[in-house]
Amino acid sequence: MRHGTGLTIGVLGSYGGRNLGDEAILSGLLADLRAQEPNARIIVFSRNPAHTAVAHPDVEAVPWEGVSRVDSAEVLARLDLLILGGGGILYDKEARRYLRVVRVAQERGLPLLTYAVGVGPLSDGVDTGMVRETLAGATEVTVRDQESRMVLEETGLVNPITVTADPAFLLEPEDFPAQLLREEGVPAGRRLVGLSVREPGRAAERLDVDAYHRLIAQVGDFLVQRIDAYVLFVPMERDDIRHSHGVLSHMVAAERGRILHGDYSPRQVLGLMKHFDLVVGMRLHFLIFAAMVGTPFLPLPYAGKVFDLAQRLGVPALRGVEREVEGPLLAEVDRLWDERESRAEETARRVAEVCDQARGTSQVTRAVLESLRNRSLARMAA
Protein backbone atom coordinates (compact mmCIF):
# COMPACT_ATOMS: atom_id res chain seq x y z
CA MET A 1 0.00 0.00 0.00
CA ARG A 2 2.17 2.80 -1.32
CA HIS A 3 0.08 5.88 -0.56
CA GLY A 4 -1.73 5.08 2.66
CA THR A 5 -5.20 5.51 1.15
CA GLY A 6 -5.49 2.27 -0.77
CA LEU A 7 -3.70 -0.29 -2.86
CA THR A 8 -2.05 0.52 -6.17
CA ILE A 9 -3.06 -2.07 -8.75
CA GLY A 10 -1.70 -2.54 -12.25
CA VAL A 11 -3.81 -4.07 -15.02
CA LEU A 12 -2.13 -5.52 -18.12
CA GLY A 13 -4.11 -6.72 -21.13
CA SER A 14 -4.98 -5.99 -24.74
CA TYR A 15 -6.40 -2.57 -23.93
CA GLY A 16 -6.38 0.65 -25.90
CA GLY A 17 -6.56 -1.11 -29.27
CA ARG A 18 -10.12 0.07 -29.97
CA ASN A 19 -11.52 -3.46 -29.87
CA LEU A 20 -14.97 -3.34 -28.24
CA GLY A 21 -14.56 -6.83 -26.81
CA ASP A 22 -11.31 -5.96 -25.03
CA GLU A 23 -12.79 -2.66 -23.85
CA ALA A 24 -15.82 -4.56 -22.49
CA ILE A 25 -13.43 -6.78 -20.54
CA LEU A 26 -11.63 -3.76 -19.12
CA SER A 27 -14.91 -2.05 -18.19
CA GLY A 28 -16.13 -5.13 -16.35
CA LEU A 29 -12.78 -5.66 -14.61
CA LEU A 30 -12.49 -2.02 -13.48
CA ALA A 31 -16.07 -1.97 -12.16
CA ASP A 32 -15.25 -5.08 -10.15
CA LEU A 33 -12.05 -3.60 -8.71
CA ARG A 34 -13.78 -0.32 -7.80
CA ALA A 35 -16.53 -2.21 -5.98
CA GLN A 36 -13.96 -4.12 -3.94
CA GLU A 37 -11.32 -1.45 -3.44
CA PRO A 38 -12.92 2.01 -3.83
CA ASN A 39 -9.75 3.86 -2.81
CA ALA A 40 -7.41 1.92 -5.05
CA ARG A 41 -5.15 3.67 -7.50
CA ILE A 42 -5.39 1.73 -10.77
CA ILE A 43 -2.76 1.88 -13.49
CA VAL A 44 -3.73 0.37 -16.84
CA PHE A 45 -0.97 -0.72 -19.21
CA SER A 46 -2.40 0.28 -22.58
CA ARG A 47 -1.55 0.12 -26.28
CA ASN A 48 -3.02 3.61 -26.56
CA PRO A 49 -2.87 5.39 -23.18
CA ALA A 50 -4.64 8.49 -24.52
CA HIS A 51 -7.64 6.43 -25.63
CA THR A 52 -7.76 4.53 -22.32
CA ALA A 53 -7.53 7.75 -20.29
CA VAL A 54 -10.51 9.23 -22.15
CA ALA A 55 -12.61 6.04 -21.87
CA HIS A 56 -11.69 5.53 -18.19
CA PRO A 57 -10.84 8.90 -16.62
CA ASP A 58 -10.56 7.40 -13.12
CA VAL A 59 -7.43 5.39 -13.99
CA GLU A 60 -3.86 6.23 -14.90
CA ALA A 61 -2.92 4.84 -18.33
CA VAL A 62 0.68 4.07 -19.27
CA PRO A 63 2.29 2.49 -22.36
CA TRP A 64 3.91 -0.93 -22.29
CA GLU A 65 4.72 -1.77 -25.92
CA GLY A 66 8.21 -0.69 -26.91
CA VAL A 67 8.99 0.33 -23.33
CA SER A 68 12.37 -0.60 -21.86
CA ARG A 69 12.80 -2.84 -18.82
CA VAL A 70 14.06 0.15 -16.85
CA ASP A 71 10.99 2.24 -17.63
CA SER A 72 8.67 -0.71 -16.96
CA ALA A 73 10.38 -1.29 -13.62
CA GLU A 74 9.76 2.33 -12.60
CA VAL A 75 6.01 1.94 -13.07
CA LEU A 76 5.92 -1.55 -11.56
CA ALA A 77 7.73 -0.28 -8.46
CA ARG A 78 4.61 1.73 -7.60
CA LEU A 79 2.33 -1.32 -7.57
CA ASP A 80 1.09 -3.61 -4.81
CA LEU A 81 -0.41 -6.11 -7.29
CA LEU A 82 -0.24 -6.82 -11.02
CA ILE A 83 -3.35 -8.24 -12.70
CA LEU A 84 -2.79 -10.02 -16.02
CA GLY A 85 -5.93 -10.15 -18.14
CA GLY A 86 -8.65 -10.58 -18.86
CA GLY A 87 -9.15 -11.68 -22.41
CA GLY A 88 -7.35 -13.99 -24.80
CA ILE A 89 -3.74 -12.83 -24.62
CA LEU A 90 -1.71 -15.95 -23.88
CA TYR A 91 -1.26 -17.55 -27.29
CA ASP A 92 1.54 -18.23 -29.78
CA LYS A 93 3.73 -15.21 -30.63
CA GLU A 94 1.67 -12.90 -28.42
CA ALA A 95 2.10 -14.38 -24.92
CA ARG A 96 5.81 -13.54 -24.78
CA ARG A 97 5.09 -9.83 -25.28
CA TYR A 98 2.83 -9.59 -22.22
CA LEU A 99 4.95 -11.92 -20.12
CA ARG A 100 8.05 -9.80 -20.72
CA VAL A 101 6.38 -7.15 -18.53
CA VAL A 102 5.19 -9.75 -16.04
CA ARG A 103 8.71 -11.13 -15.62
CA VAL A 104 10.03 -7.70 -14.72
CA ALA A 105 7.25 -7.47 -12.11
CA GLN A 106 8.10 -10.87 -10.66
CA GLU A 107 11.79 -9.99 -10.46
CA ARG A 108 10.69 -7.19 -8.13
CA GLY A 109 8.65 -9.62 -6.01
CA LEU A 110 5.31 -8.18 -7.16
CA PRO A 111 2.32 -10.52 -6.64
CA LEU A 112 0.62 -11.65 -9.86
CA LEU A 113 -3.04 -12.55 -10.41
CA THR A 114 -4.47 -13.70 -13.74
CA TYR A 115 -7.99 -12.36 -14.19
CA ALA A 116 -10.24 -14.65 -16.28
CA VAL A 117 -7.53 -14.86 -18.90
CA GLY A 118 -7.92 -16.72 -22.19
CA VAL A 119 -5.15 -19.15 -23.16
CA GLY A 120 -4.28 -20.86 -26.44
CA PRO A 121 -3.48 -21.97 -28.97
CA LEU A 122 -0.03 -22.65 -27.52
CA SER A 123 2.37 -24.77 -29.57
CA ASP A 124 5.42 -22.52 -29.81
CA GLY A 125 8.12 -23.69 -27.41
CA VAL A 126 9.15 -20.19 -26.31
CA ASP A 127 5.64 -19.05 -25.49
CA THR A 128 4.67 -22.35 -23.87
CA GLY A 129 7.71 -22.27 -21.61
CA MET A 130 7.19 -18.64 -20.64
CA VAL A 131 3.53 -19.23 -19.79
CA ARG A 132 4.35 -22.27 -17.63
CA GLU A 133 7.25 -20.64 -15.80
CA THR A 134 5.62 -17.25 -15.28
CA LEU A 135 2.23 -18.49 -14.12
CA ALA A 136 3.91 -20.97 -11.78
CA GLY A 137 4.82 -17.92 -9.70
CA ALA A 138 1.31 -16.43 -9.72
CA THR A 139 -0.62 -15.95 -6.48
CA GLU A 140 -3.84 -17.05 -8.22
CA VAL A 141 -4.63 -18.28 -11.73
CA THR A 142 -8.13 -17.77 -13.04
CA VAL A 143 -9.14 -18.50 -16.66
CA ARG A 144 -12.32 -17.69 -18.56
CA ASP A 145 -13.12 -21.14 -19.96
CA GLN A 146 -12.39 -24.85 -19.75
CA GLU A 147 -10.30 -24.85 -22.90
CA SER A 148 -7.89 -22.35 -21.34
CA ARG A 149 -7.47 -24.57 -18.28
CA MET A 150 -6.75 -27.56 -20.50
CA VAL A 151 -4.14 -25.62 -22.46
CA LEU A 152 -2.42 -24.53 -19.24
CA GLU A 153 -2.45 -28.08 -17.88
CA GLU A 154 -0.89 -29.29 -21.13
CA THR A 155 1.96 -26.80 -20.69
CA GLY A 156 2.81 -28.56 -17.42
CA LEU A 157 1.45 -25.89 -15.07
CA VAL A 158 0.62 -27.56 -11.76
CA ASN A 159 -0.89 -24.57 -9.94
CA PRO A 160 -4.59 -24.72 -9.02
CA ILE A 161 -6.53 -23.18 -11.91
CA THR A 162 -9.95 -21.62 -11.29
CA VAL A 163 -12.35 -21.51 -14.24
CA THR A 164 -14.60 -18.44 -14.08
CA ALA A 165 -16.02 -16.50 -17.06
CA ASP A 166 -15.38 -13.46 -19.22
CA PRO A 167 -15.47 -10.14 -17.28
CA ALA A 168 -17.84 -8.74 -19.94
CA PHE A 169 -20.58 -10.74 -18.22
CA LEU A 170 -20.28 -8.23 -15.35
CA LEU A 171 -21.38 -5.27 -17.50
CA GLU A 172 -24.70 -3.43 -17.22
CA PRO A 173 -26.21 -2.11 -20.48
CA GLU A 174 -26.54 1.56 -21.32
CA ASP A 175 -29.67 2.73 -23.11
CA PHE A 176 -29.39 2.83 -26.90
CA PRO A 177 -32.25 5.06 -28.08
CA ALA A 178 -34.10 4.03 -31.24
CA GLN A 179 -33.30 7.46 -32.63
CA LEU A 180 -29.64 6.42 -32.92
CA LEU A 181 -30.72 3.58 -35.20
CA ARG A 182 -32.63 6.06 -37.37
CA GLU A 183 -29.48 8.19 -37.58
CA GLU A 184 -27.57 5.07 -38.66
CA GLY A 185 -30.01 4.63 -41.56
CA VAL A 186 -32.01 1.77 -40.07
CA PRO A 187 -35.74 2.28 -40.72
CA ALA A 188 -38.38 1.88 -38.04
CA GLY A 189 -41.01 -0.84 -38.10
CA ARG A 190 -38.84 -3.63 -39.49
CA ARG A 191 -37.47 -6.75 -37.88
CA LEU A 192 -33.78 -6.22 -37.27
CA VAL A 193 -31.01 -8.82 -37.52
CA GLY A 194 -27.49 -8.21 -36.21
CA LEU A 195 -24.46 -9.67 -37.97
CA SER A 196 -20.86 -9.76 -36.78
CA VAL A 197 -17.87 -10.60 -38.96
CA ARG A 198 -14.15 -10.32 -38.32
CA GLU A 199 -10.80 -10.18 -40.05
CA PRO A 200 -8.81 -13.44 -40.24
CA GLY A 201 -5.94 -12.20 -38.06
CA ARG A 202 -3.92 -14.41 -35.73
CA ALA A 203 -6.98 -15.88 -34.07
CA ALA A 204 -8.62 -17.00 -37.32
CA GLU A 205 -5.81 -17.62 -39.78
CA ARG A 206 -7.60 -20.51 -41.53
CA LEU A 207 -10.45 -18.34 -42.79
CA ASP A 208 -10.79 -17.99 -46.55
CA VAL A 209 -11.90 -14.36 -46.70
CA ASP A 210 -13.89 -14.40 -49.94
CA ALA A 211 -15.51 -17.74 -49.12
CA TYR A 212 -16.74 -16.66 -45.71
CA HIS A 213 -17.88 -13.27 -47.04
CA ARG A 214 -20.08 -15.10 -49.54
CA LEU A 215 -21.36 -17.48 -46.86
CA ILE A 216 -22.39 -14.71 -44.46
CA ALA A 217 -23.94 -12.81 -47.38
CA GLN A 218 -26.16 -15.84 -47.99
CA VAL A 219 -27.18 -15.75 -44.32
CA GLY A 220 -28.08 -12.08 -44.66
CA ASP A 221 -30.11 -12.63 -47.84
CA PHE A 222 -31.86 -15.63 -46.29
CA LEU A 223 -33.00 -13.59 -43.27
CA VAL A 224 -34.16 -10.70 -45.45
CA GLN A 225 -36.41 -13.11 -47.32
CA ARG A 226 -37.33 -15.43 -44.45
CA ILE A 227 -38.47 -12.83 -41.89
CA ASP A 228 -38.55 -9.62 -43.96
CA ALA A 229 -35.62 -8.31 -41.93
CA TYR A 230 -33.23 -5.43 -42.14
CA VAL A 231 -29.60 -6.39 -41.48
CA LEU A 232 -27.22 -4.32 -39.35
CA PHE A 233 -23.52 -5.21 -39.24
CA VAL A 234 -21.90 -4.41 -35.88
CA PRO A 235 -18.10 -3.91 -36.14
CA MET A 236 -16.32 -4.75 -32.91
CA GLU A 237 -13.07 -3.23 -34.14
CA ARG A 238 -12.02 -1.05 -37.06
CA ASP A 239 -11.05 -3.76 -39.53
CA ASP A 240 -14.47 -5.38 -39.12
CA ILE A 241 -15.90 -2.45 -41.09
CA ARG A 242 -13.97 -3.46 -44.20
CA HIS A 243 -15.09 -7.07 -43.89
CA SER A 244 -18.67 -6.00 -43.29
CA HIS A 245 -18.51 -4.09 -46.58
CA GLY A 246 -17.08 -7.26 -48.16
CA VAL A 247 -20.06 -9.31 -47.02
CA LEU A 248 -22.54 -6.60 -47.99
CA SER A 249 -21.06 -6.45 -51.50
CA HIS A 250 -22.03 -10.11 -52.01
CA MET A 251 -25.61 -9.72 -50.76
CA VAL A 252 -28.36 -9.72 -53.38
CA ALA A 253 -30.49 -7.60 -51.03
CA ALA A 254 -27.65 -5.21 -50.17
CA GLU A 255 -30.12 -2.30 -49.99
CA ARG A 256 -31.58 -3.96 -46.86
CA GLY A 257 -28.25 -3.81 -45.03
CA ARG A 258 -26.37 -1.17 -43.07
CA ILE A 259 -23.05 -1.02 -41.21
CA LEU A 260 -22.97 0.61 -37.77
CA HIS A 261 -20.59 3.56 -38.06
CA GLY A 262 -20.94 5.49 -34.80
CA ASP A 263 -18.34 5.37 -32.04
CA TYR A 264 -20.09 3.56 -29.20
CA SER A 265 -18.97 2.25 -25.82
CA PRO A 266 -19.27 -1.43 -24.86
CA ARG A 267 -22.23 -0.63 -22.59
CA GLN A 268 -23.99 1.17 -25.46
CA VAL A 269 -23.47 -1.78 -27.81
CA LEU A 270 -24.80 -4.05 -25.06
CA GLY A 271 -27.90 -1.81 -24.99
CA LEU A 272 -28.12 -1.94 -28.80
CA MET A 273 -28.52 -5.73 -28.67
CA LYS A 274 -32.02 -5.30 -27.23
CA HIS A 275 -33.18 -3.91 -30.58
CA PHE A 276 -32.30 -7.09 -32.49
CA ASP A 277 -34.80 -9.87 -33.14
CA LEU A 278 -31.95 -12.28 -33.85
CA VAL A 279 -28.18 -12.17 -34.30
CA VAL A 280 -25.61 -14.32 -36.10
CA GLY A 281 -21.98 -13.66 -35.43
CA MET A 282 -18.32 -14.50 -35.24
CA ARG A 283 -17.02 -12.07 -32.61
CA LEU A 284 -17.06 -13.52 -29.10
CA HIS A 285 -18.24 -10.40 -27.30
CA PHE A 286 -20.93 -9.63 -29.85
CA LEU A 287 -22.38 -13.04 -28.95
CA ILE A 288 -21.87 -12.50 -25.22
CA PHE A 289 -23.77 -9.20 -25.47
CA ALA A 290 -26.67 -10.88 -27.29
CA ALA A 291 -26.82 -13.62 -24.68
CA MET A 292 -26.82 -11.14 -21.81
CA VAL A 293 -29.91 -9.27 -23.03
CA GLY A 294 -31.81 -12.37 -24.17
CA THR A 295 -31.54 -11.90 -27.93
CA PRO A 296 -31.57 -15.22 -29.85
CA PHE A 297 -28.10 -15.82 -31.30
CA LEU A 298 -26.20 -18.26 -33.47
CA PRO A 299 -22.40 -18.44 -33.03
CA LEU A 300 -20.17 -19.04 -36.04
CA PRO A 301 -17.08 -20.48 -34.33
CA TYR A 302 -13.72 -19.71 -35.90
CA ALA A 303 -11.86 -20.45 -32.65
CA GLY A 304 -12.24 -22.56 -29.53
CA LYS A 305 -13.33 -19.65 -27.36
CA VAL A 306 -16.50 -19.15 -29.43
CA PHE A 307 -17.26 -22.86 -29.46
CA ASP A 308 -16.74 -22.98 -25.67
CA LEU A 309 -19.26 -20.14 -25.22
CA ALA A 310 -21.82 -22.03 -27.31
CA GLN A 311 -21.33 -25.16 -25.21
CA ARG A 312 -21.62 -23.28 -21.93
CA LEU A 313 -24.84 -21.63 -23.04
CA GLY A 314 -26.27 -24.75 -24.68
CA VAL A 315 -26.77 -23.24 -28.12
CA PRO A 316 -25.92 -24.86 -31.48
CA ALA A 317 -22.72 -23.79 -33.20
CA LEU A 318 -21.60 -24.75 -36.67
CA ARG A 319 -18.00 -24.68 -37.85
CA GLY A 320 -19.07 -24.26 -41.49
CA VAL A 321 -17.79 -20.68 -41.62
CA GLU A 322 -14.33 -22.09 -42.39
CA ARG A 323 -15.55 -24.58 -45.01
CA GLU A 324 -18.32 -22.66 -46.77
CA VAL A 325 -21.01 -25.15 -45.82
CA GLU A 326 -24.15 -23.15 -46.54
CA GLY A 327 -26.91 -25.77 -46.30
CA PRO A 328 -26.53 -26.76 -42.62
CA LEU A 329 -25.87 -23.14 -41.65
CA LEU A 330 -29.02 -21.77 -43.27
CA ALA A 331 -31.02 -24.65 -41.81
CA GLU A 332 -29.70 -23.79 -38.34
CA VAL A 333 -30.56 -20.11 -38.80
CA ASP A 334 -34.08 -21.12 -39.84
CA ARG A 335 -34.37 -23.42 -36.81
CA LEU A 336 -33.15 -20.70 -34.47
CA TRP A 337 -35.89 -18.37 -35.67
CA ASP A 338 -38.61 -21.00 -35.31
CA GLU A 339 -37.45 -22.14 -31.86
CA ARG A 340 -36.38 -18.79 -30.41
CA GLU A 341 -39.18 -18.59 -27.85
CA SER A 342 -38.91 -22.20 -26.70
CA ARG A 343 -35.14 -21.86 -26.24
CA ALA A 344 -35.28 -18.54 -24.37
CA GLU A 345 -35.87 -19.80 -20.82
CA GLU A 346 -33.09 -22.41 -20.89
CA THR A 347 -30.62 -19.99 -22.46
CA ALA A 348 -31.45 -17.33 -19.84
CA ARG A 349 -30.86 -19.86 -17.06
CA ARG A 350 -27.46 -20.76 -18.46
CA VAL A 351 -26.52 -17.10 -18.97
CA ALA A 352 -27.35 -16.45 -15.30
CA GLU A 353 -25.05 -19.32 -14.31
CA VAL A 354 -22.20 -17.90 -16.40
CA CYS A 355 -22.75 -14.45 -14.88
CA ASP A 356 -22.36 -16.08 -11.46
CA GLN A 357 -19.15 -17.73 -12.67
CA ALA A 358 -17.87 -14.33 -13.83
CA ARG A 359 -18.49 -13.04 -10.31
CA GLY A 360 -16.34 -15.95 -9.12
CA THR A 361 -13.28 -14.06 -10.36
CA SER A 362 -14.25 -11.33 -7.90
CA GLN A 363 -14.17 -13.80 -5.03
CA VAL A 364 -10.65 -14.89 -5.90
CA THR A 365 -9.52 -11.29 -6.35
CA ARG A 366 -11.15 -10.24 -3.09
CA ALA A 367 -9.14 -12.80 -1.15
CA VAL A 368 -5.88 -11.59 -2.71
CA LEU A 369 -6.71 -7.93 -1.99
CA GLU A 370 -7.62 -8.69 1.62
CA SER A 371 -4.33 -10.53 2.08
CA LEU A 372 -2.39 -7.58 0.68
CA ARG A 373 -4.24 -5.11 2.92
CA ASN A 374 -3.66 -7.23 6.03
CA ARG A 375 0.02 -7.62 5.19
CA SER A 376 0.37 -3.88 4.76
CA LEU A 377 -1.42 -3.17 8.04
CA ALA A 378 0.84 -5.63 9.84
CA ARG A 379 3.93 -3.87 8.47
CA MET A 380 2.57 -0.48 9.57
CA ALA A 381 1.80 -1.81 13.04
CA ALA A 382 5.30 -3.21 13.37
Domains of the chain with bracketed CATH: 8-163 (3.40.50.11720), 178-353 (3.40.50.2000)
pLDDT in tens, 169-207: 999 999 999 999 999 999 999 999 999 998 876 655 666
Report the mean per-residue pLDDT for the chain. 92
My answer on whether omega of the bond before 246 falls inside 30° of 0, hence cis, is no
CA distance 371 to 376: 9
Is residue 231 very low, low, confident or very high in pLDDT (cuts 50, 70, 90)?
A: very high
Are 106 and 137 a contacting pair, CB within 8 Å?
yes
Q: Is 209 a residue whose pLDDT tops 90?
A: no
Would you call 325 helix, strand, or coil by DSSP? coil
What is the structure's pLDDT at 212?
A: 86
What is the structure's pLDDT at 325?
A: 64
Backbone angles phi, psi at 206, to 5 degrees: -85, -5
CB atoms within 10 A of CB 29: 27
In angstroms, the Cα distances linking 83 to 18, 65, 87, 174, 263 are: 20, 17, 12, 27, 28
Looking at the chain, the whole-number percentage of residues with pLDDT higher than 90 is 84
Q: Is 321 a residue whose pLDDT tops 80?
A: no
Burial of 119 (0-12, 13-18, 19+ CB in 10 A): buried
What is the structure's pLDDT at 1?
A: 46
Higher pLDDT, 324 or 54: 54
Q: Is 153 a residue whose pLDDT tops 50?
A: yes
The length of the chain in residues reads: 382
CA distance 122 to 367: 30
pTM for the model stands at 0.93
Q: What is the DSSP string of 359-378?
A: HHHHHHHHHHHHHHHHHHHH
pLDDT in tens, 56-84: 999 999 999 999 999 999 999 999 999 99
Mean pLDDT value across residues 158-177: 96
Q: What is the DSSP string of 21-79?
A: HHHHHHHHHHHHHHHH-TT-EEEEEESSHHHHHHH-TTSEEEE-TT--HHHHHHHHTT-
pLDDT in tens, 44-59: 999 999 999 999 999 9
What is the structure's pLDDT at 302?
A: 74
